[in-house]
Chain A
Amino acid sequence: MAATSLHGATRLLVLIGIFALGAYLQATGLIPGILKYWSDIVYLSRQHLHLVAISGTLATLIGIPLGIALTRRAIRPYANAITQVVNLGSTIPTLAILALAMTVLGIGAPSAIFGLVVLTLLPIVLNTVAGLRMVPAHLIEAARGMGMTDGQILFKVELPNALFVIMAGLRTALAINVGTVPLAFLIGGGGLGELIFSGIDLVEPSMLLAGAIPTGLLAILIDLLVGQCQYWLVPKGVNPLR
């Protein structure tokens, strides 16, 4: 009883809040101020997504095989040490990684992409390793007993069972990626960060918001998209959400 009426009340409050906000913004001339930058927004968003796509794809192509490699029997003795290093890497602050990328590759898109790849790599590798480790040992034993080769076991047993966790890693990685691209502007990579940082420097709130709002929206949208992929692409049997 109480729960549903609270639900209804919160909904109403949120709606009123948004409406009031919209009216306020319109009154202060903020919305037209933001729309002034529309062409920039479109151009920079394209650059933004460009960076996400390239760095994301590279990170996935490197990260997943790397994660698989770390769980293979041959590497097992070193696996813990390497995983520790990777863990350590994930503690390093994003700006530091971008800065270090810049010292190596100079200003421009390449260093931005390099930095983004490194950042996106870590969650993918860690989740691939975790996902593969979580595959119940008796499944692998049964597969080996049936006469599957190691390669077949990998593709038919281990990966499908680890898929949900791996996709969760991809989701986290992409979220980090999209979140870091604004900073790529600082090292010459372009993207919506240009509007945000310029907006701060020039004390121009409408420019700032012209950059901040699309960035936030893009991040949320991409996360929703990957979430849906995770839901639909992972087969029902191994998908805890279905």
Chain B
Amino acid sequence: METFHFILANLPVIWQRTVEHIMLVSVAVAVAIVTGVTIGILITQSKVAADRVLYVAAVIMTIPSIALFGLLIPVLSLIGQGIGYLPAVIALILYAQLPIIRNTYTAIMNVDPGLREAARGMGMTVLQRLRIVELPIALPVIVNGIRNAVVLNIAIAAVATYIGAGGLGTFISRGISQTDIRQLITGALAVSLLAIVADFALLALQRFLTSPGLRD
């Protein structure tokens, strides 16, 4: 109950932190999509490259988020950007790579080889084949990867508060350090809600972008 009143009383702050959080994730995911999808498309040309790139991305995933933040801080301190926004965004971009690259790669590789042959035989250039055949078919899986990346990033961004990046995690960290259960619950609820809403919104987008010929 107290928490409820607390939320009502602090709506502007909650909103502000939410916006911070969303901005952080959006920028990171946007960059990650550009790099991830491009790399995903490029590695379809070479099995060796694909294995290496996917392995590196997987290794990055196993590094705990706070550890990666920790590793980035001294490096970025050298250019005076050690604390705050930049290490958080860079870490988020790196974490988003695996789901996006892997899904892009798998989706394109899974396109029926018969379709590729038909496209080639009809006289499409490689780029046309990507644009007209492979990417539209791969799109649902790619968006699924982006969706995973977004949910992952929302979770990690909550931890980024500890390196000064702000966001909804601030309620949680203050709630712990000040033993204030209202802030704690507010933060936990807010960030969970954000993650769930984002997940559903992107699921709807995924369905929308799936050609009717591909739906089950």
Contact = CB atoms under 8 A, between A and B. Distances in A.
Direct A–B touching, Cβ under 8 Å: yes
B70 A95 contact: no
A16 interface: no
Interface string A179-193: 111110011000001
Contacts of A102: 176, 184
B71 A96 contact: no
19 contacts: A3-B46, A3-B48, A93-B191, A96-B172, A97-B188, A178-B62, A179-B65, A181-B64, A183-B64, A183-B159, A186-B173, A186-B176, A193-B66, A205-B74, A208-B74, A215-B63, A215-B67, A219-B67, A220-B62
B172 A99 contact: yes
Nearest to B155: A93
Contacts of A27: none
Contacts of B188: 95-97, 99-100, 103
Interface in B44-70: 46, 48, 59, 61-70
A211 B70 contact: yes
Interface residues of B, number: 40
A109 interface: no
A96 B191 contact: yes
Interface in B126-170: 151, 154-155, 158-159, 162-163, 169
Contacts of B109: none
Given A91-B151, A199-B70, A205-B77, A182 B64 contact: yes
Dominant secondary structure of chain A at its interface with chain B: helix
A196 B155 CA distance: 19
Contacts of B39: none
B62 A182 contact: no
Contacts of A97: 188
B7 interface: no
Nearest to A196: B70
B20 interface: no
Contacts of B191: 93, 95-96
Interface string A220-236: 10010000000000000
B185 interface: yes
A94 interface: yes
Contact of B66 (A88, A99, A197, A220): A197
A209 B70 CA distance: 7
Contacts of A54: none
The 3 closest A-B pairs by CB, nearest first: A93-B155, A212-B70, A179-B64
Contacts of A187: 176
A95 B62 contact: no
Interface stretch (B8-16, B112-120, B192-200, B204-212): B192-200
